[in-house]
Structures are given as C-alpha cells and as structure tokens.
Amino acid sequence: EWVNFVDFYDRIIDRFEMAKEQNVTFKRILPKHGIFVEMDEDKMTQVLYNVISNALKYSPEGGQVTFTIQEKNETIIVSVSDQGMGIPKESIGKIFDRFYRVDKARTRKMGGTGLGLAIAKEIVSAHGGNIWASSKEGKGTTISFSLPYESAEEDEWS
C-alpha cells in the first residue's frame, strides 16, 4: 500500500524516543512535505526497528542519534546515525551477512544474533532499494537505505 514515509518514520522515532531508557538525544532532519512510498508497512517497521535498535545499542552515554530523509531523483535515502564505537573498515562489508557480528568479545554483552541487518537488507531489496553503512571507528556509524518513490509532480492533465 501507499504510505507517507515521512509520517511513518516520525511515528516510529516517537516510539523509540518514548521507550528509551538511555541518556541519548534524538535529532530529526525530515522533509516538511509528505513522500509516498509503496511498501509493506510491517516489513518496513522491522527494518527501522533493527537499524534504530542497533544505533541505540551502540550509542554511548550522552550520545546523539540523528534521523534523516533525503530526496534524490525518485529515490529517498533514509539514514540513522549514531556516535558509537563504529565499525572497523574490514568488517563493514560483512555486517549485512547472516549471523555476522563484529568482534564477538566486544559485543557479546550487548546480546543479539547477528540477524537484524541481514533481515533489513532482504526487506529493503524486496522493495527495490539498497542498504549500506558508513562508519568511523570511535566516531560513529550511519546506516542508510534507499527506496524508490513516486514523485507527485506529474499530475498534468494533458
């Protein structure tokens, strides 16, 4: 079905913001207008839950998590950035693999199975998008994904 992605994202962020127990601040950089995406809302909820849970799990005390949506010709790019420990260069290509977890010792205490991002990748691909990570060790991580959308401009009555 068609969903206004901006409202949808905003509502999911609200839920995390209300539930969070850590000292982490949220920053939203979202368009003021609606952007309509044809998607499975439950599946896309799962994608955002996985990505946002990671951002919180790996955020330091007092950190900031930034949520953005950018529009780029018929595609939106949705990002979640944290100021956590980051991901080493040699691991960044593997975090979307099933059961892969960076440095088991480092993350064991944080729990998880290493499936979250693999599932997210599958769902984003099924929606015609891509998902990727950029990260600097000790500085933070940004997970971004793209989704095609219908720009509402071309309602010419020709």
Contact status: 86 vs Mg ion (CB under 5 A):
no
Contact status: 90 vs ligand ATP (CB under 6 A):
no
* Shortest CB 55 distance to ligand ATP, Å: 5
| Beta bridge mates, 45 | none
Whichever of 86 and 129 has its CB closer to ligand ATP, that residue is 86
Helix axes 41-57, 5-19, angle to 10 degrees: 40
Q: Which helix or strand (DSSP H or E) is residue 13 part of? A: helix 5-19
Residue nearest to Mg ion (CB): 116
For residue 33, count CB atoms less than 10 angstroms from its CB and return exposed for 0-12, middle for 13-18, buried for 19 or more.
Answer: exposed
Contact status: 85 vs ligand ATP (CB under 6 A):
yes
Contact status: 47 vs ligand ATP (CB under 6 A):
no
In single-letter form, the type of residue at position 53 comes to S
Contact partner, 101, from Mg ion, ligand ATP, none, Cβ < 5-8 Å per class: ligand ATP
